[in-house]
């Protein structure tokens, strides 16, 4: 149970998702074998979804195809205050369903958005790179069911 003073507002949790671009995707096979992997991502508030890209084959996609229920954790500010034996932090935990996007038009659209968020200064080669890598890349959408944030900023 979370201490009431540690609960982050939904607006602050959304802001942390917007401001960050790296999180940990956690999944489980139908046999109950856990699997967690770090990914870079972008968050689309209008879609209430997180998007990330990956290679078209691999364990991550195999596990999602078996069981698309996932959790996703983002860690924002983190600072260990050694003399007080405390850690100041901000985190957001999302649960939802991972959907593999196979439609090329939608993949291109999401890859453009990904580039705008993660590499905004490299726009000149974006279309060339997307066209070259399109068949080797998959986009995964996490449809968010629940989101909660937690922080400890006690002095």
Rounded to whole angstroms, the Cα distance separating 10 from 151 reads 12
> Higher-confidence residue: 6 or 138?
138
Q: What pLDDT was estimated at residue 2?
A: 52
Give the model confidence (pLDDT) of 23-46 as tens digits.
999 999 989 999 999 999 999 999
Residue with tokens 């400890």: 152
Give the model confidence (pLDDT) of 106-148 as tens digits.
998 898 888 888 877 777 788 888 888 888 899 999 999 999 9
Q: What pLDDT was estimated at residue 3?
A: 61
48, 72 in Cβ contact below 8 A? Answer: no
Q: Is 37 left (phi over 0), alpha (psi -120 to 50) or beta?
A: beta
Output the DSSP codes for 19-57: H--EEEEEEE-TT--EEEEEEE-EEEGGGTEEEEEEESS
* Domains of the chain, CATH where assigned: 4-152 (2.30.110.10)
| The two structure tokens encoding residue 61 | 């996609």
| The two structure tokens encoding residue 11 | 């607006």
Least confident of 87-91, 99-103, 134-138: 87-91
């Amino acid at each position: 149970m979370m201490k009431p003073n540690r609960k982050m507002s939904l607006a602050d949790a959304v802001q942390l998702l917007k401001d960050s671009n790296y999180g940990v995707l956690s999944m489980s096979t139908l046999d109950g074998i856990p699997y967690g992997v770090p990914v870079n991502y972008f968050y689309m508030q209008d879609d209430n979804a997180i998007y990330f890209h990956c290679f078209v084959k691999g364990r991550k996609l195999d596990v999602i195809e078996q069981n698309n229920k996932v959790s996703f954790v983002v860690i924002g500010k983190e600072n260990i205050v050694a003399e007080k034996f405390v850690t100041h932090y901000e985190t957001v935990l999302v649960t939802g369903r991972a959907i593999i996007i196979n439609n090329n038009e939608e993949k291109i659209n999401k890859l453009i958005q990904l580039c705008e968020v993660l590499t905004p200064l490299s726009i000149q080669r974006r279309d060339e790179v997307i066209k070259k890598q399109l068949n080797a890349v998959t986009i995964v959408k996490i449809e968010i069911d629940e989101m909660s944030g937690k922080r400890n900023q006690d002095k």
